Chain A
Amino acid sequence: MADELKDKIREYVVDEYVEEGEDIEVKDDTPLISGGLVDSFSMVSLKLFLETEYSIKIPDERATAEAFDTVNAIAALVREYADA
């Protein structure tokens, strides 16, 4: 079954961070920050998107480079706070 949450995150990441003309495939485990696609300062827009889209509040201390490094990790974080 397709994972809508992951697809939505992936769609945002591609739209927000992949430059026009760049041939980058974002898989569930593609390292976004440690791989250099998203720098740690630019990930604030991703946090803002997640909080707005899913009506959640991710505390700053949880919004780490590790927690935002893959689509898998981001989805887990969203699920944790959506369930909270």
Chain B
Amino acid sequence: MVYGTAAREFYQNELVGIRNDGLFKEERYIVTPQGADIEVEFPEGAPVKKVINMCANNYLGLSSHPDVVKAAHDGLKAKGYGMSSVRFICGTQDAHRELERKLTAFLGTEDTLLFASCMDANAAVFEVTLGPEDVVIADRLVHASVIDGIKLCDAQYDSYKHMDMKHLEKKLQQFADKRFRMVATDGVFSMDGDIAPLDEICELADKYDAMVLVDDSHASGFMGKTGRGTHEHCGVVGRVDVITTTMGKALGGASGGCISGRAELVELCRQRARPYLFSNTVAPVVVTASLKVMDIISETTERRDKLEQNTLYFREQMTAAGFDIRPGVHPIVPIMLYNAQLAQDVARDLYEEGIYVIGFFFPVVPKGQARIRVQLSAAHEKEHIDKAIAAFKKIGEKYGILGLGKKEIIDKYGM
């Protein structure tokens, strides 16, 4: 038997280690479609509980939107369930190319290539476009999939302090002798809701002859006046060379991602990207539903406007209530608690109050930076948000943290 005692014991010990470190992740079973109101079975076997979902990437509330669901049904009938092929053999339907064209127009780029996920897009783009003569310089807090993508390529790698333009400039100067320099950043950073200063990054890129890559997964569909993304928010549409993004968040939330950018670079990915060449095509039903999403968000900014209002309202009310929240304008709202145990306790108590949020702590965020990450959605009505704020206030009072800043919370609960 290959799977012998030694292997079994090794894996068991690893799992024990994960539990002992407090890092064991447990799934919560949601028995309803995704939305503002969901029903959850947690822990396994417990009675189903109705809660308000405040931690989904469902920024535009399109995950279960009736028009999107209908487009998926229609697509299923018209295009079938699966393609049983990679794109370049017999896995490309007209709808795939139509979606790529619509994404290109929406993002203001030159061409687009679909992937099964943005994780795949990030796994592809660096390996195809950079070689040992090149360097990629990434913000230190970029998403794990960007780091993994960089690891797969032969280029020199370096990083700059989070959103520190002086440090980035120093690095660009340091690597002036490289053939190509590529700056890689998230448009919006998933743990903090920080918005990358793409205007300054593009200025530096121009000055030091560098390309710019932005993972805009937490921005596509709603950042900027017409929701194009962080590049629109920062006024640099057309100046970002590569955007990678996902349809798994605001844009319907099912799955799928893309590389969108300079035409030659995208075409080269179509020819050489391994996750494109050796992974199945995006399912037709996801493509037809995504086409409907593109129509919805291209016709009106109503949903991103509502998301913006919800975000402003929640941030104002939570600040007034005395919570220590990271300032900003993004629907990711980190409620800072600093202490890992406190973050878990507050999240658990909020769940009892009918509010579904998660505590984040090291190693997902730096040590001493534990928090609850709230994510607003256009699916939230004012009543949802008011209920969430009332629950936060009740639990905040219980733990005596209202009105306390970082130092006071750490003095009370430790790091």
Q: Is the pair B158, A45 in contact by a Cβ cutoff of 8 Å?
A: yes
Q: Is the pair B140, A39 in contact by a Cβ cutoff of 8 Å?
A: yes
In the complex, residue of chain A having the shortest beta-carbon distance to the beta carbon of B150: A41
A36-B157 contact, Cβ under 8 Å, with A20-B164, A41-B147, A42-B140: no
Contact of B159 among A20, A36, A41 (CB under 8 A): A41
Assembly CA distance A42 to B162 (angstroms): 12
Q: Is the pair A45, B162 in contact by a Cβ cutoff of 8 Å?
A: no
Contact of B158 among A35, A36, A39, A48 (CB under 8 A): A48
Q: Chain A, 5-40, contact with B by CB distance < 8 Å: what is the 0/1 string?
A: 000000000001101100000000000000110010
Interface of A is mostly: loop
A44-B161 contact, Cβ under 8 Å, with A35-B367, A36-B362, A36-B366: no
Q: Is the pair B161, A19 in contact by a Cβ cutoff of 8 Å?
A: yes
For residues 128 through 181 of chain B, which have their beta carbon under 8 Å from a beta carbon of chain A? Answer: 140, 147, 151, 157-159, 161-162, 164
Q: Is the pair A44, B158 in contact by a Cβ cutoff of 8 Å?
A: yes
In the complex, residue of chain A having the shortest beta-carbon distance to the beta carbon of B369: A36
B140 partner residues in chain A, CB cutoff 8 A:
39, 42
A39 partner residues in chain B, CB cutoff 8 A:
140
Assembly CA distance A17 to B161 (angstroms): 7
In the complex, residue of chain A having the shortest beta-carbon distance to the beta carbon of B163: A19
B162 partner residues in chain A, CB cutoff 8 A:
19
B362 partner residues in chain A, CB cutoff 8 A:
36
B153 to chain A, nearest CB (A): 13
Assembly CA distance A19 to B158 (angstroms): 16
B271 to chain A, nearest CB (A): 29
In the complex, residue of chain A having the shortest beta-carbon distance to the beta carbon of B367: A36
Max chain B Cβ within 10 angstroms of own Cβ: one of A35, A41, A44: A41
Would you mind naming 23 contact pairs between A and B with Cβ atoms under 8 Å apart? A16-B161, A19-B161, A19-B162, A19-B164, A20-B161, A20-B164, A35-B367, A36-B362, A36-B363, A36-B366, A36-B367, A39-B140, A41-B147, A41-B151, A41-B159, A42-B140, A42-B159, A44-B157, A44-B158, A44-B159, A45-B158, A45-B159, A48-B158
Which A positions have Cβ atoms within 8 angstroms of B? 16-17, 19-20, 35-36, 39, 41-42, 44-45, 48
Q: 9 closest Cβ contacts across the A-B interface?
A: A36-B367, A42-B159, A45-B158, A41-B147, A36-B366, A44-B157, A42-B140, A19-B161, A36-B362
